[in-house]
Amino acid sequence: MPRLRPFRSGDEPALAEICLRTADEGADATGMLGDDALWAELFVLPYVARHPDLAWVVETDDGHVAGYVVGTDDTAAFEEWFARDWWPRSASREPRPAESVGRHAELLRYAASRGTGPHRYAEEYPAHLHIDLLPEVQGQGWGRRLVGSLVARLRERGTPGLHLVASAGNTGAVAFYRRLGFDPLASEPGEQAFGMRLD
């Protein structure tokens, strides 16, 4: 039987693998970019570097990490830190010629834009999260437990709201967030944002 536990140092490679294997609207994104590591450098590793206390994992009987939730309680401060400290040291991110267009270049532009202006949802919903589970632990309530752990911690801290942004094409994730009680927010094309008040 899998179990929920707090993130601990040493989980990072497993989290990066899960991120990669779910990055294509819930499906495996291996080989989609010129550098598979880019997914985790944007969407999971900075969170456990800055907020290891806001991360939980699902661990299987054999000690394999098969899912996670990560987050921040202050999106504005996190994005400033990402731009100032994380992204410059993460890697040299000038795209090679083959990566100058398409999804890879789009993600690099996204990374470069983080922390450069006000965040759309941060005032009302200052916290945000990322959650991913491998198929082996999906549909068993682990996603609900992961989000519940983060929500409980954020409420302890007095954080008034939590948001997330999903791909509009990831219909399973969109339905999941609705079931958890997140409210749809005004969103960019191709995305669906959600918010939850915690106060």
Distance CA 109, CA 184 (A): 26
pLDDT-based confidence at 155, cuts 50/70/90?
A: very high
pLDDT-based confidence at 97, cuts 50/70/90?
A: very low
CATH class of 3-151: alpha beta
Each residue of 46-74: pLDDT tens digit?
A: 999 999 999 999 999 999 999 999 999 99
pTM of the complete model: 0.93
Report pLDDT for 69.
Answer: 98
**DSSP result, 54-87:** G-EEEE-TTS-EEEEEEEES-HHHHHHHIIIIIH
End-to-end CA distance of the chain: 34
Residue 91 has pLDDT above 70, yes or no: no
Strands of 191-197's sheet in order across: 3-6, 56-59, 65-72, 127-133, 161-167, 191-197, 183-185
Determine the residue type at 119: H
What are the residue boundaries of the structural domains of the chain, listed by start?
3-151
> Is the C-alpha dihedral spanning 174, 27, 40, 135 positive or negative?
positive
Residues constituting the chain: 199
